[in-house]
A and B are shown apart, each in its own frame.
With several copies, the nearest count.
Chain A
Amino acid sequence: MSEYPHIKIQQEDFDLTTEVAALRAGHKDIGAVVSFVGTVRDINEGDEVSILELEHYPGMTEKALEKIRLEAHERWALESSLIIHRIGKMYPTDQIVLVAVSSRHRENAFYASHFIMDYLKTNAPFWKKETLPNGDERWVDARITDKEAENRWIK
């Protein structure tokens, strides 16, 4: 088992049913499971996108995601949680990221999964590079709206 069993950084795709089953295993008192899947859009900033490449900072990524995950568990009563983030080359409609959270009651799972995604966006060391149909490559710029989304959760 890795140091962070609830965090996975991987090139390969993931299966939602399988991952949610793993999230729920051993927890009988779950009443709610919220899963967020982020996918590659074929358009960004008005341009068609052919390839999306995800780079990360090995070591820091796991540590940053685990910190976010544990903060979610401190803020809301959760049964279990899981973060999977893919790296490498992906294509339109591919799955990029999964955040799945289980709890007894639905409100905690909704808030916690939203919180984890908002913090992941601004605190986990991943970077996206797009390739356009003409072969041009460009790094995706950070969005101000993502920083605003994070700030909403400040207590």
Chain B
Amino acid sequence: MINVLYFASFREMLGKADEQIKAEHSTVGALIESLSTRGENWQKALLENQNLQIAVNHDVAQRDTMIKAGDEIAFFPPVTGG
């Protein structure tokens, strides 16, 4: 299993903060493809979003970052703290 988190506007748009998913995706990109089949809001937030930010295990990641069972993958919009 992998743990997937959604923050800020993504959490609101996708209607969930986190979920457990079977770890059958080799990369973040593959996970995004799979999640985007859930509907238009998923496709817009993840697949078609040029500003999508990704973290794997608390480090900034890219679509080609590898994932494995036990990882924590987070999706969020550009940060605006400070």
Instruction: Name A residues whose Cβ lies closer than 8 Å to a Cβ of B.
Output: 38, 54-57, 59-60, 63-64, 85, 96-97, 117, 120-129, 139-143
Contact = CB atoms under 8 A, between A and B. Distances in A.
Nearest to B55: A60
A123 B79 contact: yes
B82 A121 contact: yes
Q: Is the interface of A mostly helix, strand, loop or mixed?
A: mixed
Given A57-B5, A57-B7, A57-B74, A140 B59 contact: no
B7 A125 contact: yes
Contacts of B58: 57, 59-60, 63-64
Interface residue tally on B, bucketed by range = 10 to 19
Which of B58, B80, B82 has the most chain A CB atoms closer than 10 A to its own CB? B82
A99 B5 CA distance: 28
20 contacts: A56-B81, A57-B58, A57-B74, A57-B76, A60-B74, A97-B82, A120-B81, A120-B82, A124-B79, A124-B81, A125-B7, A125-B55, A126-B79, A127-B8, A127-B79, A127-B80, A128-B80, A139-B9, A142-B78, A142-B80
B3 to A, nearest CB: 11
A127 B81 contact: yes
